[in-house]
Amino acid sequence: MNGPSGDTRTALRTWKVSAWLKRGLLGLTGVAVLFLADGAWAQTHLLNVSYDPTRELYREINQAFSHVWKKLTGETVTVRASHGGSGAQARTVIDGIDADVVTLGIPSDIDAIARLTNKIPADWRAKLPNNSLPYTSTVVFLVRKGNPKGIKDWDDLAKPGIRIITPNPKTSAGGRWNFLAAWGYAQAKEGGTAEKAREFVSAVYKNVPVLDTGARGSTVTFAQRGLGDVLPTWENEAFLVLDEFGKDKFDIVVPSVSILAEPPVALVEGNVSKKGTRKVAEAYLEFLYSNQAQAIFAKHRYRPLKPEAAKPEDLALLPHLKLFMIESIEPDWDKIQKNNFENGGLFDQISKR
Amino acid sequence: MSDVSVSRVGPSLRRSGSGWRSVTTEPRAVRWIAIACAIAFLAVFLVLPLTVVFAEAFRRGVGAYWAAFQEPDAQAAIQLTLTVAAIAVPLNLIFGVAAAWAIAKFEFRGKSLLITLIDLPFSISPVVSGLVYLLLFGAQGLWGTWLMEHGIKIAFALPGIVVATIFVTFPFVARELIPLMQEQGTADEEAALTLGASGFRIFRTVTLPNIKWGLLYGVLLCNARAMGEFGAVSVISGHIRGLTNTIPLHVEILYNEYNFVAAFAVASLLAGLALVTLAAKTLLEWRYGHVLASRTPH
Amino acid sequence: MSKALAVKLRLKQPSVIPGFGLTLGYTLTYLSLIVLLPLAVLLIRASEAGLSGILAAATEPRVAAALWVSFGISLLAALVASLFGLLVAWVLTRYDFPGRDLVGAMVDLPIALPTAVAGIALAALYAPNGWIGGPLERLGITVTYTPLGIFVALVFIGLPFTVRTVEPLIAEIDRDQEEVSATLGASRVKTLWSVMLPPLLPAMLTGFALAFARAVGEYGSVIFIAGNLPYVSEIAPLLIVIKLSEFDYTGAIVIATIMLAISFLALLAINLVQAWSRRRFGDV
């Protein structure tokens, strides 16, 4: 046994434990107070609650806005961002996170905030230009270099033996656009019916081995962990993977037709009134429609509302393809959400195995 | 003053591994196979995951490693985590000492129920721990409307993260101290009492020196868990960059931004903390094994 | 723990030691505020859904599947962790070999290592391009994003509990009994099986229950390595998070309540096992 020697034992006894403890506690409290009293609240803060793949985008937008605002008013404003699956993000707003603006992946998530809290008016889409869409996007396919499985169009996704990586449509806006794109494609194509669309989507999701909660999680699964043959994803996300992981590892496949993905923005009226940030929050949303922000959207491979503001070389990269609006098939967003994604909806039915 | 303190020598460490007679051990070959199996199993399940954290963190060299900590968001996360631990750990420390005193020094009705309740947070899923506080403090929760009206932010702010962390690390100090103080009984304290010492003085001069190493280990463990808590904090934090992201949440964010080197670099900070905790524990056991109770794990 | 539980419900004995009211009062207040009140709110919210609502949410196929995945894999993982835990504990207490103290110290790693760190580390290790995942992949075994991945993470989580509960008991085994058994002509295997294993069983059961309770609720380390695919590799805690994202509070609350019940049952089982073992083997 390695017990303490007599000397050590005496030392132990005379050790001023209480003094040690007291000093330690005092120190810890001091540290805590220092951190709490940190002058973090001295300036204006905006909180933008956004969806998963916009991390890089809003980092740049937020800095640009801070500069513009400083020049315009002399005030310092810091815009903070929070990212995650669009549904999960909407949930934090519903649960009371004091977001000034929401920039989510799909209109139904902002509808949910409007429905469950009174912080956003029901007619929020009419408050800003272009149905509150400063930019749009679409869904393309990311495949492994050389496209070994020969995936060309949506029909190929339903073939047996193809492994598709896509996020959970219940929590992710990207996941919902992917689902709706497949569904809309089958419905709109020649001879398409609701029943055929259902069969098609069912066949596609039979090929999904992994459902992450957000688009970014799926990208990591596909690109970093090397799982699956195809990643249907946001156009901007596909380009980002090429930039991050190298063009020698992946190819983008553009299907014949895809969905017009509509990630909307809105002011959280209830919060800005309380925080007194309405003016700057409104200016932030207006800024998203400015030429400067529009150019940043294009730089990050989103489709800007005003293409003329973007650099031509950025726009040239975006593929030309036919885009359809989901509203042309089902105009009622509440129905889209309810029939497909809520409990007992189409997604639940087809994912039973 | 240490005059009234009575030093106790507890049972010695059982650390003799050799010297049995051959009838009570296995053949040499069996022994070595068993040792090899155990070590191989531990290597695959424990050592490799730990190694991979550091290997991935340094994959692009020391420069990339340090760069991960230059990020303002990373520094904010480290600061937040330190703040949370600096509040949560002392609170659980005080609770642990109080609970252990009540449970170890007295007999009362419902004691085993109390111990079970203290253990409860340990077996509750972290996600459930986060959820219950959301049900209390969230806008849709019990007190949500009242808190909102009075402009008090708990969910998606520091207080929410702190209470969730306290919940998750609740039993650690108490569970460390209860068996230790029970083993040591009440004789020392009673002796001090007859010498006329006051209650708090007895605690300071008699009890505390007896339990300080166990206490230290409990605090270290509590601290490691507090700094590393993920599930509960994830539910209630809101993931605001630079504001409510703790180190583990920051790791997840970096991981999801393809920034694997930075993710593992920041993760290596927590892995290092885990190693320090284990090293301190081993040192304490080795040095003061007789004053650390033979414990059930946490 | 066992000693504490051995204390039968008794009237408070008079004691000369001061501070009972203060410490117990503080303990109960703190416990109520931090643990009991929030859990009560959870139960109240669950009861608001009504029995039919709870049943409907609990028997929803996806919920049932997630609970089944969590339970089934946790049971398996706790079982494997128990067996290896016994082996590791035996080797650590009975045999002497270089580096034993180091190995012993490593056992507690899963307790000290944050779950999210464990999650990304295990995912990197077992991915098809990882150190272990690579060779396994060539053998046709995929670990990450399959139920096997969950199993690996849960064994990792459970190991310290199964080792640490049996370790002190192995150390306390009465050597005389072993000798008597050997002198009476029993083979070593027979001695191990019929003399030494029975007293270890209660501790193994306790370790198993602890590892199981921990595994069922585990979140951080699992979500990085599981495929999170409904009906296949979606665990119950993740489904709580997903239900929240879907604004399905009732669903989240019901799953949380079921998991809370499991936690209670696991603790109850541990207490029963220990009470039984005290009757059977005396105070261990």
Instruction: For residue range B209-262, list pLDDT tens digits in order.
Output: 888 888 998 999 999 999 999 999 999 998 888 899 999 999 998 988 878 899
**Any CB–CB contact under 8 A between A270 and chain B?**
no
Give the residue from C37, C109, C178, C191 with the most B CB atoms within 10 Å of its CB, the best one to mutate: C109
The span from the CA of A182 to the CA of A185, in Å, is 5
Is residue C257 in a domain? no
pLDDT attached to residue B194: 85
Domain at C115, CATH number: 1.10.3720.10
On whether the CB atoms of residues B80 and B158 are closer than 8 A, the answer is yes
CB contact residues (below 8 A), chain B span 16-75, against chain A: none
Q: B297 and C160 in contact by Cβ < 8 A?
A: yes
Q: Which residues on chain B are in Cβ contact (under 8 Å) with C38?
A: 132-133, 135-136, 167
**Any CB–CB contact under 8 A between A170 and chain C?**
yes
Could you tell me which chain A residue has the CA closest to the CA of B91?
Answer: A25
Q: Which residues on chain C are in Cβ contact (under 8 Å) with B101?
A: 19, 23
B190, with CB counted inside 10 A (0-12, 13-18, 19+), is middle
Interhelix angle for B260-288 vs B208-228, to 10°? Answer: 170
Is residue C41 in a domain? no
pLDDT attached to residue B206: 86
Is residue C265 in a domain? no
Q: What is the extent of the structural domain holding C174? A: 68-235
pLDDT attached to residue C282: 63
- Model's pTM, two decimal places? 0.83
Place of tokens 């879907």: C246
Is residue C27 in a domain? no
The span from the CA of A34 to the CA of C139, in Å, is 56
- How many of the other CB atoms lie within 10 Å of CB of C17? 17
**Any CB–CB contact under 8 A between B286 and chain A?**
yes
Compute CA distances A130 → A226, A263, A305, B282, whole Å.
Answer: 39, 11, 8, 64
pLDDT attached to residue C5: 36
Is residue C31 in a domain? no
pLDDT attached to residue B289: 66
pLDDT tens-digit profile, chain A (353 residues) = 333 343 433 333 333 444 544 555 555 555 544 444 444 444 789 999 999 899 999 999 999 999 999 999 999 999 999 998 898 899 899 988 989 999 999 999 999 999 989 899 999 999 999 999 999 999 999 999 999 999 999 999 999 999 999 998 988 999 999 999 999 999 888 888 889 999 999 999 999 988 887 888 899 889 877 889 999 999 999 999 998 888 899 999 999 999 999 999 999 999 999 889 999 999 999 999 999 999 999 999 999 999 999 999 999 999 999 999 998 888 888 899 999 998 888 998 887 75
Is residue C148 in a domain? yes
The span from the CA of C278 to the CA of C284, in Å, is 7
Provide the pLDDT confidence category of residue C183 given band limits of 50, 70 and 90. Answer: confident
pLDDT attached to residue B151: 82
HSE (CB half, 13 Å, CA atoms) of B126? 28
Give the residue from A97, A231, A249 with the most B CB atoms within 10 Å of its CB, the best one to mutate: A97
Nearest by CB to C247, from A94, A227, A351: name it: A94
The span from the CA of A349 to the CA of A202, in Å, is 9
Is residue C123 in a domain? yes
Give the residue from C245, C248, C255 with the most A CB atoms within 10 Å of its CB, the best one to mutate: C245
For residue C46, give both structure tokens: 């669950």
pLDDT attached to residue B297: 44
The span from the CA of A128 to the CA of A113, in Å, is 17
Residue B289 is classified by DSSP as: G
Task: Note the Cα B75 to chain centre separation in Å.
Answer: 23
Helices (H), chain B: 28-42, 48-57, 61-70, 72-105, 111-123, 126-137, 144-149, 158-169, 171-184, 187-194, 199-202, 208-228, 231-237, 247-255, 260-288
Instruction: Please determine, for residue C87, whether its predicted confidence score (pLDDT) is greater than 80.
Output: yes
Task: Note the Cα B252 to chain centre separation in Å.
Answer: 21
Could you tell me which chain C residue has the CA closest to the CA of A344?
Answer: C60
Q: Which chains touch C (3 or more CB pairs under 8 A)?
A: A, B
* Three-state SS letters, chain A: CCCCCHHHHHHHHHCCHHHHHHHHHHHHHHHHHHHHCCHHHCCEEEEEEECHHHHHHHHHHHHHHHHHHHHHHCCCEEEEEECCCHHHHHHHHHCCCCCCEEECCCHHHHHHHHHHCCCCCCCHHHHCHHHHCCEEEEEEEEEECCCCCCCCCHHHHCCCCCCEECCCCCCCHHHHHHHHHHHHHHHHCCCCCHHHHHHHHHHHHHCCCECCCCHHHHHHHHHHCCCCCEEEEEHHHHHHHHHHHCCCCEEEECCCEEEEECCCEEECHHHHHHHCCHHHHHHHHHHCCCHHHHHHHHHCCCEECCHHHCCHHHHHHCCCCEEECHHHCCCCHHHHHHHHHCCCCHHHHHHCC
pLDDT tens-digit map of C263-275: 888 888 888 887 8
pLDDT tens-digit map of A53-93: 999 999 999 999 999 999 999 999 999 999 988 988 998 99
Give Cβ neighbours of residue B170 (< 8 Å, ≥ 6 apart).
B92, B95, B118, B121, B122, C34, C35
Report mean pLDDT in 10-residue bins for chain B, 298 residues. Answer: 34 39 69 91 92 95 93 94 96 95 89 88 92 91 86 91 95 91 85 84 87 90 94 92 92 86 95 93 78 47
Q: What is the mean pLDDT of chain C?
A: 86
Nearest CA-CA distance, residue A221 and chain B, Å:
10
Is residue C13 in a domain? no
Provide, rounded to the nearest whole percent, the portion of chain B with pLDDT above 90: 51
Structural domains in chain C (count)? 1
ipTM: 0.86
